[in-house]
Amino acid sequence: MAQNKYECEQCGAVFYTQEDMEKHNRTVHSRFRCDICGETFGSEAELEAHNPIAHPEIRTTHTS
């Protein structure tokens, strides 16, 4: 019985499920990385939600 394989277009890593490949892309090739701890996120909104929870001692200010 042949198994489907999913290959990462960015690095060539191979996965047996599409879900595993998508998780790989979110964690390894994410564009949104926390400057403090290095954790990666699939969106800017996820990164912004992470910061006050994971790093409450760091205050950010937004200017217009």
User: Structure pTM?
Assistant: 0.50
In angstroms, the CA 64 to CA 58 distance is: 20
Q: Is the pLDDT of residue 60 over 70?
A: no
**CATH numeric code, 6-54:** 3.30.160
Domain positions in the chain are 6-54
Q: What is the pLDDT of residues 2-44, one digit of tens each?
A: 567 999 988 999 999 999 999 888 778 878 888 999 888 878 8
* Sign of torsion over alpha carbons 45, 51, 56, 59: negative
DSSP 23: H
In angstroms, the CA 26 to CA 42 distance is: 5
- Cβ atoms of 24 and 16 within 8 Å: the answer is no
